[in-house]
Amino acid sequence: MSDRHVDSFLEMLAAERGAARNTLAAYQADLEDFAVHARMRGLGPAEAGPEIVRSYLHGLSAGGLSARTAARRLSAMRQFFRFLAREGVRPDDPTELTESPRLPASLPKALSEPEVEQLIAGAATLPGKRGPLAVALVELLYVSGLRVSELVSLPAGALRADAPLVAVMGKGSKERLVPISSRAREAALAARGTPAKPSRWLFPSRAAGGHITRQAVGVVLKDAAIAAGLDPDRVSPHVLRHSFATHLLGRGADLRSLQMLLGHADIATTQIYTKVLEERLRKLVEAHHPLAG
């Protein structure tokens, strides 16, 4: 059952923040689940108090949902109630004193540097036009840290020979500049070749959007992994993005620079890589401190 306050919140996300369709669908699903819980207690979602918020989160935990899922739903509820407060629908935020569920510490599942080179070599062996395309996708994802959604929507003129940077439209319609190596640029242009008919996209396709889909990119990477002798379950666009970040940090990059390159709105999101930095500093001390031995 639709709720007018939830609908207004989703409209705001789309209009003011440029939220993507998948993001809106996730918010809607989370808030509708909370709305069912509230209605079972005789209230609409906009009328729920702190006790209903707490009982909802307790039910998620008792039902076996992960802390990560519960934290995501609480985040959706927080934004919803803050929106209602700004709009004057209610005077308070019932989630204000609710602590977010503790998330288990997790490290990015990155490939090693030799494995990335192995993946590129395997990609080049794929037959026909699939080989150059696979090489281009791996090179671009790994050298830039792009999200796969950002990669597939790159315009045809994105990679200019005279510019080492490419403008990328990220989450929330925020544009950022990302360095692109000449090697990756040449691989992308070789894969594109001369399209049968003009296209506005760097990687044109017969798909509905006119460009290669995220799913198709995933399949190409799995094929490249198999050709390279790597476990295909370890290779995905997101793994290459993690590998980009992990290897940069391992070679001396700082978190603030990495935040800008990855397009994270909040430095807290980038801090998942802190353990990579800690490991690098530990090795530095072990290798160079006079009393480390």
Q: Is there a single domain that holds both residue 59 and residue 124?
A: no
CATH of the domain at 210: 1.10.443.10
Catalytic residue among 273, 275, 280, 282: 273
Is residue 271, in this structure, part of any structural domain at all?
yes
Question: Which position has the higher pLDDT, 62 or 197?
Answer: 62
- Residue 98 pLDDT greater than 80, yes or no: yes
Please report which confidence band the pLDDT of residue 77 belongs to, taking 50, 70 and 90 as the band edges.
very high
Range of lowest pLDDT (44-48, 60-64, 266-270): 266-270
What is the domain-level CATH number for residue 65?
Answer: 1.10.150
Note whether residue 289 is domain-resident. no
What range defines the domain where residue 276 resides?
113-284
Is 41 a known active-site residue?
A: no
Residues 6+ apart with CB under 8 A from 90: 46, 47, 81, 84
Active site residue 171: yes
Residue 79 in any domain: the answer is yes
Are both 118 and 63 inside the same structural domain? no
Among 17, 54, 171, 222, which one carries the catalytic annotation? 171
In a domain, 102, yes or no: no
One of 73, 147, 185, 211 is an active-site residue; which one?
147
The reported pLDDT for the residue numbered 107 is: 57
Same domain flag for 36 and 142: no
Domain presence at residue 190: yes
Tally the domains of the chain: 2
Indicate if 149 and 64 belong to the same structural domain.
no
From the candidates 54, 222, 238, 275, give the one annotated as an active-site residue.
238
Same domain, 130 and 240: yes
Q: For residue 1, what pLDDT band results from cuts at 50, 70 and 90?
A: low
Q: Active-site residue 275, yes or no?
A: no
The reply to whether 167 and 240 lie within a common domain is yes
At 165, the pLDDT band (50, 70, 90 cuts) reads confident
- pLDDT at residue 117 in the model: 96
Give domain status of residue 15, yes or no: yes
For residue 219, the model assigns a pLDDT of 94
CA dihedral over 153, 166, 232, 253, signed as positive or negative: negative
- Answer yes or no: is 54 within a domain: yes
- Alpha carbons 254 and 260: distance in angstroms, whole number: 10
Evaluate if residue 121 carries a pLDDT over 90: yes
Tell me if residue 273 is catalytic: yes
Output the pLDDT for position 215. 93
Same domain? 213 vs 275: yes
To the nearest whole number, what is the mean pLDDT of the chain?
88
What are the pLDDT digits (tens) for 267-289? 878 887 877 767 767 777 888 77
Which of 211, 241, 242, 247 is an active site residue?
241
What value does the mean pLDDT take over residues 24-48? 93
Please state whether the predicted TM-score (pTM) of the whole model is above 0.75. no
Judge if 253 and 156 occupy the same domain: yes
